[in-house]
């Protein structure tokens, strides 16, 4: 911008960057503390290790001595979030296609229906699903409460709106002329969808899918009510560990999970570009 | 030709039916079940009377503790959403107007941070603010806090925890709002002699208002139902509705009461949402807010 040459603007911009750094610092402070604590050798009080920050030394011991139950919870969470993501895409993409391309009465109401789960506080969703699963079990004997499937269903309920929103906004931006061009050149309807529409909305779908994964992977509030005792999710495990008996390998596992998420995002960014990711999951509430 | 056209329109619409049935069915069924549960009194051990009663609602209405908890929940969510908005708005705007490369790195870092589940961040905060930790000792030496100050168990602690839940979402959502506002509009205003502040006030602010409001509402809803920070950082002293709901379920097996509190919370949240949308609709076309 030309007006950027004025000195006052420069000063204001620097102030702005200080502001951005403060926000980033705020976001990252607790994460850095946990990463720092993860390499602390730990001091022993009554035969139990306690971790400190700043670390009093450096060791990768905890990274190689992770409590087996903790590992299992990480695997459960990865499985759960993956299943939820796949389900949310399978539900969300067709829903968005129908909403954006179909013409039927009550279209706005159906669109609103797909946004509603995000307007309900998570604690309410958790309670509602717990009581529903109890009712279902009492009526039919199908035990969804405290099961992987039940938790999956509840998470699908809150994750699908992200994919619908992402795919929907991508479809809304798509020019109908592209389809018309393919059709008029003799492509079949299916081929047009396969080769024109789908590739164009795929990046946005990936973005929505990432948010679906994120919601399921980090949720405590819903999972706390629905998690199976023998297959506790990672966030619920961490929550319980902080409330009861702090597991010393937890900061190490948390750091590894954070690192893996970071790598995944870099990969996603390389593959599809962050801009699409954001446009997809962003302001759609 | 018109027949094919009608055919195509029909077919696309069909795709929505299965997902809509799934989501709509779940929505209707779960909400009905727990709405119904709220009209039955608890008899202990998770058993409810079969009689229809308003008793739970009357209890909430007459018990100052419940009302106080509702007030606290809304205040907490309101204060934190406001504070997060103040932090995130300028940062997101600046990022959206900086070079795409820098912006993407920063935003990616923020998203990566949101993959860290809240209990872990909470653990970080507990360590950071522990009474014998370096930060607290520094603050004590500077006489900014008394030696007796305890972070855990304060309203402030829960608010900081809530803010961590909200801020990454706020920045990413506002970032995408600002990205959708063409930069040329600001340049045009500047060329016509508007000062930087005036551009922000008269161009950026109005154009970003619908997106900002919708982001604020999404996070307000999220925070009213948030639970982890209140449980781990509240030290049993900051009793939000979410905590009361969890307690009546897990500790007391009072399904009716838990459902009632959830219904009341849901109704209040819906009212706040409707009121805000109506308020903004007076300022901007409603379609933009809702869409």
Most confident segment among B6-10, B162-166, B198-202: B162-166
- Tell me the percentage of chain A whose pLDDT exceeds 70: 89
Structural domain harbouring A8: 1-59
Pair (A43, A182) in one structural domain: no
As for how many domains chain A has, the answer is 2
> What pLDDT does residue B291 have?
38
Final residue before a domain boundary, out of A15, A39, A59: A59
Range with lowest mean pLDDT among A146-160, B209-223, B274-288: B274-288
Q: Is the pLDDT of residue A283 over 60?
A: no
More confident residue, A16 or A239: A239
Pair (A7, A21) in one structural domain: yes
pLDDT digit string, tens, across residues A96-134: 998 888 888 888 888 889 988 988 889 989 989 998 998
**ipTM score for this prediction:** 0.85
Instruction: Output the six-digit token pair for A128.
Output: 């509602």
Pair (A32, A53) in one structural domain: yes
- Chain A hits for B126, CB-CB cut-off 8 Å, are 242
Pair (A246, A125) in one structural domain: yes
CA atoms within 13 A on the CB side of B19: 31
Chain A residue nearest residue B96, CA to CA: A275
Final residue before a domain boundary, out of A14, A37, A59: A59
Do B269 and A121 count as a contact with CB atoms less than 8 A apart?
Answer: yes
> What pLDDT does residue A204 have?
86
Of B10, B127, B177, the CB nearest to A33: B127
Entry pTM:
0.87
Pair (A55, A72) in one structural domain: no
For position A184, which CATH number holds? 1.10.3720.10
Instruction: Output the six-digit token pair for B107.
Output: 């935003």
- Within 10 A of B58 (CB to CB), how many other CB atoms are there? 11
Pair (A80, A190) in one structural domain: yes
Contact status, residue B88 vs residue A22, Cβ threshold 8 Å = no
> What pLDDT does residue B182 have?
85
Do B225 and A250 count as a contact with CB atoms less than 8 A apart?
Answer: no
Pair (A43, A104) in one structural domain: no
Q: Is the pLDDT of residue A42 over 90?
A: no
Of B113, B258, B266, the CB nearest to A31: B113
Domain positions in chain B are: 1-32, 38-290
Contact status, residue B273 vs residue A119, Cβ threshold 8 Å = yes
Residue A232: partners with Cβ closer than 8 Å, 6 or more residues away: A69, A73, A76, A240
Pair (A83, A49) in one structural domain: no
- Tell me the percentage of chain A whose pLDDT exceeds 90: 31
Instruction: Output the six-digit token pair for B195.
Output: 């000062």
Pair (A131, A162) in one structural domain: yes
Pair (A51, A73) in one structural domain: no
**Chain A touched by B271 (CB under 8 Å):** no
Final residue before a domain boundary, out of A59, A76, A108: A59
Four-way CATH pick for B38-290: 3.40.250.10, 1.10.3720.10, 3.40.50.720, 3.30.360.10: 1.10.3720.10
Give the DSSP H/E element, type plus range, for residue A235.
helix A234-243
């Amino acid at each position: 911008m030309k007006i950027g040459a004025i000195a006052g603007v420069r000063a204001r911009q620097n102030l702005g960057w200080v502001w951005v750094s403060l926000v980033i610092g705020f976001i990252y402070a607790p994460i850095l503390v946990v990463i720092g604590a993860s390499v602390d050798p730990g001091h022993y009080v009554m035969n139990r290790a306690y971790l400190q920050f700043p670390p009093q030394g450096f060791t990768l011991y905890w990274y190689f001595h992770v409590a087996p139950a903790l590992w299992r919870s990480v695997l459960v969470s990865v499985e759960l979030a993956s299943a939820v993501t796949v389900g949310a895409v399978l539900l969300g993409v067709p829903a968005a296609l129908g909403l954006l391309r179909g013409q039927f009465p009550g279209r706005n109401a159906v669109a609103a229906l797909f946004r509603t789960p995000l307007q309900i506080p998570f604690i309410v969703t958790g309670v509602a699903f717990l009581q529903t699963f109890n009712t279902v079990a009492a009526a039919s004997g199908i035990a969804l409460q405290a099961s992987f499937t039940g938790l999956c269903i509840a998470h699908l309920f809150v994750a699908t709106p992200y994919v619908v929103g992402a795919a929907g906004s991508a479809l809304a931006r798509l020019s109908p002329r592209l389809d018309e061009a393919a059709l008029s050149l003799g492509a079949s309807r299916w081929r047009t969808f396969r080769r024109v529409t789908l590739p164009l909305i795929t990046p946005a779908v990936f973005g929505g899918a990432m948010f679906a994964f994120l919601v399921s992977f980090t949720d405590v509030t819903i999972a706390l009510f629905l998690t199976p005792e023998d297959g506790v999710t990672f966030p619920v495990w961490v929550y319980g560990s902080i409330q009861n008996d702090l597991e010393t390998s937890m900061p190490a596992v948390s750091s590894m999970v954070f690192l893996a998420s970071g790598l995944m995002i870099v990969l996603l960014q390389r593959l599809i570009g962050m801009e699409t990711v954001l446009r997809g999951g962003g302001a759609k509430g | 030709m018109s027949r094919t056209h009608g055919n195509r329109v029909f077919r696309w619409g069909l795709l929505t039916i299965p997902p809509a049935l799934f989501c709509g069915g779940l929505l209707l069924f779960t909400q009905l079940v727990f709405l119904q549960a709220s009209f039955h009194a608890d008899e202990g051990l998770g058993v409810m009377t079969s009689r229809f009663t308003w008793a739970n609602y009357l209890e909430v209405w007459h018990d100052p503790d419940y009302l106080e908890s509702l007030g606290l929940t809304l205040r907490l969510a309101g204060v934190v959403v406001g504070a997060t908005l103040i932090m995130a708005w300028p940062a997101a705007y600046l990022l959206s107007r900086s070079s795409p490369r820098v912006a993407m790195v920063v935003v990616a870092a923020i998203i990566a941070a949101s993959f860290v589940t809240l209990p872990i961040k909470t653990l970080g905060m507990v360590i950071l603010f522990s009474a014998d930790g370096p930060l607290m000792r520094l603050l004590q030496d500077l006489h900014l806090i008394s030696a007796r100050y305890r972070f855990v168990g304060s309203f402030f602690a829960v608010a900081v925890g809530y803010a961590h839940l909200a801020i990454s979402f706020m920045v990413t959502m506002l970032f995408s709002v600002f990205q959708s506002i063409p930069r040329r509009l600001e340049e045009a205003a500047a060329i016509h002699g508007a000062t930087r502040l005036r551009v922000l006030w008269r161009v950026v602010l109005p154009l970003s208002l619908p997106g900002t409001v919708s982001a604020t509402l999404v996070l307000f809803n999220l925070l009213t139902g948030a639970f982890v920070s209140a449980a781990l950082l509240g030290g049993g002293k900051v009793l939000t509705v979410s905590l009361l709901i969890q307690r009546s379920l897990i500790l007391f097996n009072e399904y009716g009461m838990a459902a009632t509190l959830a219904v009341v919370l849901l109704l209040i949240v819906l009212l706040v949402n409707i009121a805000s949308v109506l308020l903004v609709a007076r300022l901007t076309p409603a379609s933009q807010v809702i869409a």
